[in-house]
Amino acid sequence: MWLTKHNILSFLLILSSVLAFGQSKSDLEKQKKQLLNDIEFTNKLLNETEANKKATLGELNLLSSKINKRQELINTILREVDLIQAQIDETKGIVKSLEEDLKRLKDEYAKMLYYAYKNQSQYDRLMFILSSENFNQAYKRIKYFQQYSKHRQQQAKAIEETRTILESRTEELADKKMKMAYLVEDKEKEKIQLSTEKEEQDAMVKTLNQKESQLKKDLNQKQRDAKKLEKAIARIIEEEIRKAKAKAAKTGGTTTKSGFALTPKELELSGQFSDNQGKLPWPSERGVITSSFGEHPHPTLRAIKIENNGIDITTDKNTKARAVYEGTVSAVVSIPGAHKAVIMRHGEFLSVYSNLEDVTVKMGDKLSVKQEIGTVVTSREDGKTMLHFEIWKGATKLNPAKWIVSKK
């Protein structure tokens, strides 16, 4: 009986371990699928038209994004390989334990069969019972034979159950080894593809280096445009704070650290926005981040840093920018070079959508989550469609990548 219970307990422990592994594997597979989708979408953007297949900064940023995704994909595959290897090692241990259990059960069963054979005479059993000194002893000897027979049946059943589990785990082990082989093959294919893309990236950087003076000129213009947008946002924030304080003086409100005097309803909206960090939808239905927040090196110009107040999302042509959260349109501004921008207020938070060709909202409009704001501009230079997106808390710039939902 002990061995049967022991096998059941082992099986339950095995099952819980497999379920835990399964959850981790599911997460990795989901992440891998998303990375493959991102790479496929980036390829689509890179190959939209033959006419746009020239070395531009937008093209380089897209290629760099794809390389980063490819490296991340390889790392994900490696983690999946490690996970399956751990499962293989554990399954091997389980198979070995089951084999030992099965051998022990068979040995015990063989001993019982031998004992039964040696004492198989019905006459001997009857004499053994009849030679009892009293009725109680005779009853106990009868029960002994019954229990012994039942135990033999249980041992036979335990052997069969253990054999079934062992066969199942052996098949599972073979399946995991096959999956491991496929993953290793995928990893090698991705590494070859990554090497090809890096060579393409190096060639593009060399080509762009020959256009250094033009790149510097373009960079200076973009920085001037970014400063214009930043000043426009600062003026709007000052005006919003002024109006909020004037409103609070009449109706009452709470002044936040960012300087906004918020009504109870605005304060609630601000808190809800804050609670959605890492959960906000993307400001475009599809896209890849091709320029990150903050200061980082220029892709080709040495010793030159780029300062980005938000993130740049490269997406499809004719893509619509959309609100990441409910709120009110504070302003629609037109900035030469940066095209049009929409600034929304969510309590003390602001979201900024710029590089828009046309806008479908106006100041004072109340928008819902994912409501369309306008169409993103497609560059005439390289045919790329790029949305610039920012998030502010009062006068403080925040990293939008930490606020929108992760694709992993």
CATH number of 213-402: 2.70.70.10
Which among 307, 384, 321 is positioned nearest to 352, based on CA atoms? 321
Lowest-pLDDT range of 7-16, 170-179, 257-266: 7-16
Q: Are 319 and 303 in contact (CB under 8 A)?
A: no
Checking if the pLDDT of 325 tops 90, the result is: yes
CA separation for the pair 203, 186 (Å, rounded)? 26
CA separation for the pair 277, 105 (Å, rounded)? 58
Q: Are 108 and 102 in contact (CB under 8 A)?
A: no
Classify the C-alpha dihedral 129-132-137-138 as positive or negative.
positive
Checking if the pLDDT of 50 tops 50, the result is: no
Long-range contact set of residues 114-117: C-beta below 8 Å, sequence gap at least 24: 116/152
pLDDT 10s digits, 67-84: 888 888 888 888 888 887
* Predicted pLDDT at 4: 46
Q: Are 283 and 389 in contact (CB under 8 A)?
A: yes
Considering the entire predicted model, what is its pTM?
A: 0.64
pLDDT 10s digits, 262-290: 778 888 888 899 999 999 999 999 999 98
pLDDT 10s digits, 184-222: 888 888 888 888 888 888 887 887 777 777 777 777 777
* Predicted pLDDT at 75: 86
Which among 57, 36, 70, 72 is positioned nearest to 290, based on CA atoms? 57
Domain borders along the chain are: 2-209, 213-402
Checking if the pLDDT of 64 tops 80, the result is: yes
Checking if the pLDDT of 305 tops 90, the result is: no
Checking if the pLDDT of 148 tops 70, the result is: no
